[in-house]
Amino acid sequence: MVRFCTVVRLCTVVLLVCAVATASAVLAGCAGSRQPGPPGSGPPVGEATSSGGTGDGGSPQAPGSEPPGGTAPPGGTATRPPATTGPAGGWRVGARPLPLRPDGFGEVLPTPAALRDRRLPTLDRLPPPPRGRFRSSVRPISPAVRARMGTTWKPGCPVGLADLRYVTVSFRGFDGRAHTGELVVHRRVAAGVVSVFARLYRARFPIEEMRLVTGADLTARPTGDGNNTAAFVCRAARKQTRWSAHAYGLAVDVDPFQNPYRRGDLVLPELASAYLDRGDRRPGMIHPGDVVTTAFAAIGWTWGGTWRTPKDLMHFSATGG
């Protein structure tokens, strides 16, 4: 009897050890496996890049007017950003690629109900400003920032990395909270750009997202719902043989979805048609004489909303183009 009980106990111990080892192996396997992440918000909504990621070639010579360069994935490595979820209808930004037009942009479709009065929350990718106070920084392009920029800068661009600056500024989200955004601009306009966003912060003008454009944006399929406030992208002006102002770090696009670009039947972002009615005022929209146009005018920049064609409501530049 004693011998039988001893055998039973030994068998029980062996079974327990095996069970623990098996469970550990399963957990280790799960932890080591990478699950596919959600899609990103698609490529920049203009510049020289078609929505299919095939930009105009050549070596442009000077800035000119072009579709905007507003939507892009977050800072970090050259991976696409996680889709963001909005409160209205659970909208996931970047989750639904659009069919392509012959010109390479996405099809211009009616604005979904969840985005007609767009007030999606901001996903923090940088620490928010302490105590909700406006904070800013201007620094040279570090190796880490250069790596994150990817193919948005390359040899042959009209401005060298030494003349660009990595800028962080505080901004107010549509969620009413304080957040930290990032831009790359030319060194000679960095202080002025900071002053603009300081004014917008004090006025509580809402901005949904502000992060670096990365190489992943240039190849991602369009989803037409991006809303990134962005600056530098070394690309040619759309269907032109000259560089855009963005390629010099001398242009900023603000809240592209609320302030879309229009040329003929093309609207960018492609789902933003509801915001072409400028009489229907909603948060994030830019209007003549408001805090946004006034702040940029104070540093000598012009607004694409004053152009006859195209109308580039998001676009501000130091070059007039």
Each of the 321 residues of the chain gets a pLDDT tens digit; together they read: 444 444 334 344 333 333 333 333 333 333 333 322 222 333 344 332 333 333 333 334 444 444 444 333 333 333 344 444 444 448 999 999 999 999 999 999 999 999 999 999 999 999 999 999 999 999 999 999 999 999 999 999 999 999 999 999 999 999 999 999 999 999 999 999 999 999 999 999 999 999 999 999 888 999 999 999 999 999 766 556 689 999 999 999 999 999 999 999 999 999 999 999 999 999 999 999 999 999 999 999 999 999 999 999 999 999 998
Quote the pLDDT of residue 90: 80
For residue 194, give both structure tokens.
């900071």
d(CA 296, CA 315): 10
Q: How far apart are CA 255 and CA 209, in angstroms?
A: 8
Q: What is the DSSP secondary structure assignment for residue 254, as one 8-state letter? A: -
List CB contacts of 80: < 8 A, sequence separation 6 or more.
37, 39, 40, 73, 94, 216, 220
Question: Quick one: pLDDT at residue 218?
Answer: 87
Grouping H, G, I as helix, E, B as strand and the rest as coil, residue 23 is helix
Residue type, 57: G
Q: Are 270 and 108 in contact (CB under 8 A)?
A: yes
Provide CB contacts within 8 A for 226, sequence distance 6+.
41, 42, 45, 70, 71, 72, 93, 94, 256, 257, 269
Residue 7: predicted pLDDT: 38
Specify whether the CB–CB gap between 310 and 138 falls below 8 A. no
DSSP codes, 140-195: E--HHHHHHHGGGS-TT-SS-GGGEEEEEEEEE-TTS-EEEEEEEEEGGGHHHHHH
Crossing angle (nearest 10°) for helices 190-202 and 291-298:
150
Query: What pTM was estimated for this model as a whole?
Result: 0.77
Asked if residue 229 lies in contact with residue 209, where contact means CB atoms within 8 angstroms, the answer is yes
Cα 249 to Cα 190: distance, rounded to the nearest angstrom: 9
Give the pLDDT of residue 281: 98
Determine the Cα–Cα distance for residues 216 and 43; give it in Å rounded to an integer.
7
Per-residue pLDDT, 316: 98
- 3-class secondary-structure state, position 222: coil
Backbone angles phi, psi at 115, to 5 degrees: -115, 5
pLDDT of 66: 47
Taking the C-alpha atoms of residue 241 and residue 118, their distance in angstroms, rounded to an integer, is 35
Query: Burial level of 219, CB count in 10 A (0-12/13-18/19+)?
Result: middle
